[in-house]
Structure 1
Amino acid sequence: MSSLVRHITIDCADAYALGGFWAQVLDSKLSDDDRPGDTEVLVESPGAGLLFIQVPEKKSVKNRIHLDLQPEDRTREEEVERLLALGATLVDDQRRPDGLGWAVLADPEGNEFCVERSKGERAAAERAE
């Protein structure tokens, strides 16, 4: 029997605050047991949850692993704008005029993640080919 990914764990300075940011990003929620000041916070989502663990050291280098987000009900551009309004920052813009590419953002603690085109945008591009 194989293993399943239960949680993706992210070290951070403020588990509750960063967990709250990611809960909004994923239109999800924190575990009912989580409270401000907790050093471990779980964002419950389909598949694998995101587990935030408070650690004393600050982030110092680029992520070795990152999340790639694909919007479900909005375009990539709309999703990037929504995430920027939630507190993300644009780190690297790899979007191309032809619609390909992605945007690299960072969460409030500097953890990088990417926003790709939505499934609808991908399907529209394939039909246009």
Structure 2
Amino acid sequence: MAAIAQISLGVEDPERAGAFWMEALGYVRRPPRWDGDDWIVIEPPPGVVGAPIAMDTSESPAPELPRIHLDLQTDGDLDAEVARLVGLGAQRVDWPFYPEPGERHPDEVPYVVLADPEGNRFCVAGVH
């Protein structure tokens, strides 16, 4: 059976994207595989569970409504985490699919849609 080895993000500037995601997730940069290896792969620090993320250079723009995206979960205050991520370079996204007030299921956790500095959309969920 196959397993996910890493998640690859298409980015214009791998250094900028890698720096953002390292700060956002507390990840560390994986050493290059060989001399001249220009791939940036970040991963959880030793002993921490999580999937590595590779920054793959791409010339295509990030889609406004991606079919696949990252979901982040905060154990703390959602608003504080969103403010921290925006301070690192994320941008709020005008997302047309937020549930209307009163339409959210009682068990659904509130979330905010952001874009990383490269325009890749991701969600952050937590408690207000």
**Shorter-chain TM band:** 0.7 to 0.9
Deviations 1:31-85 (A, max 9, x none): 1339xx964210112331001111233335432101111013x211110010010
Residue in structure 2 matched with residue 52 of structure 1 by the alignment: 55
Aligned-residue sequence identity (percent) comes to 33
- Read off the aligned partner of 2:9 and give its amino acid letter: I
- How many residue pairs get aligned? The number is 115
- Read off the aligned partner of 1:27 and give its amino acid letter: G
**What is the RMSD computed on CA atoms of the aligned residues?**
2.9
After superposition, residues 91-102 of structure 1 pair within 5 angstroms as 91-92=93-94, 94=98, 100-102=109-111
After superposition, residues 1-129 of structure 1 pair within 5 angstroms as 2-33=1-32, 39-45=38-44, 46-72=49-75, 74-92=76-94, 94=98, 100-117=109-126, 121=127
Verify the 8 A CA contact 1:43 1:50 in the aligned structure 2. yes
- Read off the aligned partner of 2:42 and give its amino acid letter: V
Q: Identify which range, 78-87 or 61-70, moves more after superposition.
A: 61-70
Gaps of 5+ in 2: none
Distance 1:116 1:10, change over 3 A: same
TM-aligned CA deviation for residue 91 of structure 1? 0.4
Supply the distance in 1 between the matched residues of 2:12 and 2:83 (Cα, whole angstroms). Answer: 25
Q: Identify which range, 88-97 or 76-85, moves more after superposition.
A: 88-97
More helix by share: 1
Distance 1:103 1:42, change over 3 A: same
Higher relative contact order (CA 8 A, sep 6+): 2
TM-score w.r.t. the length of structure 1 is 0.75
The secondary structure found in structure 2 opposite 1:71 is strand
Deviations 1:67-112 (A, max 9, x none): 111013x211110010010000010364869995210000001100
The secondary structure found in structure 1 opposite 2:93 is strand
Verify the 8 A CA contact 1:68 1:115 in the aligned structure 2. yes
Residue in structure 2 matched with residue 125 of structure 1 by the alignment: none
- Read off the aligned partner of 1:4 and give its amino acid letter: A
Supply the distance in 2 between the matched residues of 1:6 and 1:41 (Cα, whole angstroms). Answer: 15
